[in-house]
């Protein structure tokens, strides 16, 4: 696996070509990037179709293990995403199932705290999903499902206390829905951890298993992770040594993006998936200004401002983010956003 243009410092990377021509695989997160709740993010299908037309392969990679990947693929096709095969969707249920299959005897019973998506993944690798400690499982696996309640969490706690290893699909604390943010699998995992004091084995982002699972299934020599979450998508990409594009259609805001410490920064930024098909030119910093093409970011009295481009434009975002990171790294002081930049 080789890398695309990337970067040489803690600032943004640059690419004279559209990212969809500079990288051969986009590992695209789903919740908050392609859709929010059941509805597509505006422009997502058209942006992905253009990227695919530029020669980029698309893999849809998600920590959400509530549905079988075939059902997710069907949903994506209904939303108009381009040329989606069932095998293009890779989730944390598949990653955790392979981790468990490698560690347990073939045909082992596993206590399932989750939904159909996780059960299908377990059965695909020859493991048997059971619902009670009385069924003598050899391990516990926990993944998100909206119907999980106290009794399932309690059963997992009893199994952990009996000494069984505890696997989880992911530890996302929240999940974006059409009505707003809601508790994610990580919040339910934390409830079990509070009861038992145990630490689970995690398969989903930011851990490496899901990234490796995706590349092995879909292929790609120059992968790019595309996501909305810093703690999973971006940190995970950094951890496995691949470049990343952060978008602002999900949980991360511009305010959070400009305040990121160097070890958590994405390679590229854009408002949405349209950034896959943009070039990402270098930002020139001169004191309290940052210029990227027609966009000019500036700092005055601790306030970050933008002229020459709208905040949703890739050039404008690059100028803002690069200048803000340069300011934070050299002064140690935080910045406020001009009111027109709030997203």
Whether the CB-CB separation of 96 and 207 falls below 8 Å is answered with: no
Say how far apart CA 305 and CA 277 lie, in whole Å.
25
Is 313 in the active site?
Answer: no
Whether the CB-CB separation of 135 and 109 falls below 8 Å is answered with: yes
Nearest to 305 by CA among 283, 326, 289: 289
User: Among the options 24, 29, 88, 228, which is catalytic?
Assistant: 29
Whether the CB-CB separation of 37 and 3 falls below 8 Å is answered with: no
Nearest to 260 by CA among 227, 234, 284, 239: 234
Is 39 in the active site?
Answer: no
- Per-residue tokens: 317: 């975002």
- Per-residue tokens: 70: 């075939």
The CA-atom distances, in angstroms, between 131 and each of 17, 28, 153, 250 are 51, 32, 11, 34
**Any idea which residue has 């803690």 for tokens?**
10
- DSSP secondary structure string for all residues of 88-123: GEEEHHHHHHHHHHHHS-TT-EEEEES-HHHHHHHH
Say how far apart CA 134 and CA 105 lie, in whole Å.
19
In a 3-state reduction of DSSP, which class is residue 53?
helix
H-helix or E-strand spanning residue 46: helix 44-53
On the 0-12 / 13-18 / 19+ scale of CB atoms within 10 A, 249 is buried
User: Among the options 31, 88, 228, 243, which is catalytic?
Assistant: 31
Q: Give, in degrees to the nearest 5, the angle at Cα 244 between 241 and 250.
A: 135
Say how far apart CA 4 and CA 250 lie, in whole Å.
25
Q: Which residues are catalytic?
A: 29, 31
């Amino acid at each position: 696996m080789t890398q695309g243009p990337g970067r040489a410092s803690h600032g943004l990377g640059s690419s004279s070509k559209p990212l969809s021509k500079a990288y051969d695989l986009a590992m695209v997160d789903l919740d908050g990037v392609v859709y929010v709740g059941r509805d597509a993010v505006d422009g997502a299908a058209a942006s992905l179709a253009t990227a695919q037309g530029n020669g980029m392969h698309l893999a849809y990679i998600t920590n959400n293990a509530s549905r079988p990947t075939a059902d997710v693929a069907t949903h994506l096709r209904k939303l108009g995403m381009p040329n989606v095969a069932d095998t293009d969707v890779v989730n944390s249920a598949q990653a955790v199932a392979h981790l468990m299959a490698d560690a347990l005897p073939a045909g082992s019973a596993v206590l399932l705290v989750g939904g159909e998506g996780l059960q299908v993944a377990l059965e695909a690798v020859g493991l048997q999903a059971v619902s009670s400690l009385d069924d003598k499982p050899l391990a516990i696996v926990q993944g998100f499902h909206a119907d999980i309640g106290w009794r399932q969490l309690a059963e997992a706690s009893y199994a952990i206390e009996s000494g069984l290893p505890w696997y989880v699909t992911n530890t996302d604390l929240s999940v974006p829905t059409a009505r707003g943010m809601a508790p994610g699998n990580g919040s339910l995992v934390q409830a079990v951890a509070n009861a038992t004091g145990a630490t689970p084995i995690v398969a989903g982002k930011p851990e490496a298993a899901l990234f490796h699972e995706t590349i092995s299934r879909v292929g790609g020599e120059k992968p790019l992770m595309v996501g909305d979450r810093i703690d999973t998508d971006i940190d995970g990409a950094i951890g496995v040594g691949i470049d990343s594009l952060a978008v602002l259609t999900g949980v991360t805001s511009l305010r959070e993006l400009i305040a990121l410490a160097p070890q958590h920064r994405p390679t590229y930024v854009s408002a949405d998936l349209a950034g896959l098909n943009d070039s990402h030119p270098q930002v020139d910093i001169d004191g309290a200004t940052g210029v990227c093409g027609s966009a000019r970011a500036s700092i005055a009295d601790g306030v970050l401002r933008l002229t020459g481009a709208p905040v949703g434009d890739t050039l404008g975002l690059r100028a803002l983010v690069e200048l803000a990171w340069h300011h934070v790294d050299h002064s140690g002081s935080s910045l406020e956003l001009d009111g027109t930049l709030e997203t």
